[in-house]
Amino acid sequence: MTGDLYILEGDEVRAVDFLRWAKWFESADRIIERTVGEFHVVSTVFLGLDHQLGDGPPLLFETMVFTRSAWDKGPLIEQDCKQYSTLKEARQRHKIICDEWKVED
């Protein structure tokens, strides 16, 4: 079965069968970008699974913003989540989201 499972080889996304996906997934570095600020973390990753719920291109990349309270630097809490179809879009949106949340390394 292909079409729902993907791997990232360099900058190329490839649809693969379950066995190839599982072998790749267990050791793959799926982090595309990670920016850690004083109170927020912006993380963009390759999902490896199509998260598209309806019609449209597969959603294979995700950027999440996590924040922690200013007074105790407690656990990270998810604040925002966006998904994308291409690596190019994921990289571009990561930078935009960092600017929106005022997160700098």
CA distances (Å), 56 to each of 1, 69, 91, 100, in order? 19, 37, 20, 27
* pTM exceeds 0.85, yes or no: yes
Query: Which residue is listed with tokens 């291409």?
Result: 86
Q: Which one-letter DSSP state was computed for residue 86?
A: S
Give me the residue spans of the domains in the chain: 30-100
pLDDT tens-digit series, residues 75-90: 778 899 999 999 999 9
Half-sphere exposure of 14 (CA within 13 A, CB side): 13
pLDDT tens-digit series, residues 10-40: 999 999 999 999 999 999 999 999 999 888 8
